[in-house]
Structure 1
Amino acid sequence: MALDDQQRAIIFQHANRLLSTRDYPKTICPSEIARAFSSLELETLEAPDWRATMDDIRGLVWELREAGEIEVMQKGEVLEVERLEDIKGPIRVRKVHT
């Protein structure tokens, strides 16, 4: 599903809030973003539950990675893959160290 600006803003708001609470090198799981949605936000996202938002969250997380704002990690290592589709399994996310 292509997200509209309001839907994107909901996801980015929660992602930024959660990331801002973790100092480098601490990470968050994308599911933490999904589980933070209120029932009204889930309705706006057209999702029956938080699990239904995970693909959209991963996509927006990847956009933040491409913008150089965050690092996507797996098994404690920063991923150096070119495409989100090449990632299999759970990921973690952290702010880029400044």
Structure 2
Amino acid sequence: MKTTNKKPTAIPKMYCTLFGHDYQVTKKVTYHVKEYTCCHCKRQLTTNSNGSLIELTPKFKEINAILEHIHHTRMERSKEKAILSSIY
């Protein structure tokens, strides 16, 4: 069984050092919280409570998962209320 090395190679790291990271949104947690990944070196960031970008650590992954669950539940509940109010 082979194990894969997830560390970026030297060329993408060098590209990001010279030209900067090219972050793309990989996950929309809520309207304001998103997760980003650099398409070259695979560095992951997220937004914190102040709106700045910070490193995506396991702690923040867990926080984002809980936020996403709460956000999804609230959106579903508001959709149900809107449907019920339109019927009556």
Normalising by structure 2, we get a TM-score of 0.28
Pick the structure with greater CA Rg.
2
